[in-house]
Amino acid sequence: MTTPTIVFDLDGTLVDTAPDLIGTLSWLLETEGLDPVDLTAARDLIGHGMRPMVEKALRQKGRGQTVAEVDDVFRRYIAAYEQRLTRESRPFPGMIAALDAFAAEGMRLAVCTNKIERLAVQLLEELDLARRFHAIAGADTYAVRKPDPGHIAFTVRDAGGTLDRAVMVGDSEPDIRAAQAAGVPVVAYAGGYTAVPLAELSPDVILDHYDGLPAAVRALLERR
């Protein structure tokens, strides 16, 4: 039987990156003469990738009406963000123990994120997490990204696994929609970043804490 592959989203799933993502965004908006964003409210902007996050934030402030302006602000956002990737970002409570449990069972682990690949790898390396994963796929790794199911399919392939023995762990609509379209069961983390209530997205499992993640994943694999 094929070794199971557990695929994780990054922002809002593996790591609480909102303080650095939104902190950088607020700083950048202030340099544009705009009010900063509220950390709690702006968490819902995360999930589809950093450029959509910046674009939505600008439009909320009445800016970003041209591609050229968005391009310029986004370029400066990336330059600033990579200087503080892990200033405040940390793995969510219970995540390290869950990763240890999966590794002890010999499962393959992978990351499938809408973050730019080099920033995802750098962030995970700075947190000493990169070594745990067989594949780390970002928004620019393939020709598609979540919610396209191909993003998950290619990530599982590159991790050495198969979709029929995979489980997705995510926190928002792109993760859940991509997994469902790929025919992969999905565990949704309620402590992440989502603009749509998780219950409306119908994931297989919703968890409030990662203490229950290993058992939830095992149960989903047993059903397959």
The answer to whether 9 is a known catalytic residue is yes
| From 9, 20, 175, 204, the catalytic residue | 9
- SS3 assignment, position 94: coil
Q: How many CB atoms lie within 10 A of CB 173?
A: 19
Q: Determine the Cα–Cα distance for residues 79 and 102; give it in Å rounded to an integer.
A: 35
How far is residue 5 from each of residues 23, 66, 78, 83, measured CA to CA in Å? 33, 41, 31, 32
Cβ atoms of residues 21 and 122 within 8 Å:
no
Q: Determine the Cα–Cα distance for residues 87 and 127; give it in Å rounded to an integer.
A: 10
Q: Determine the Cα–Cα distance for residues 26 and 63; give it in Å rounded to an integer.
A: 14
Q: Can you state the percent helix, strand and coil of the chain, rounding each to 5?
A: 50, 15, 40
Catalytically active residues, by annotation: 9
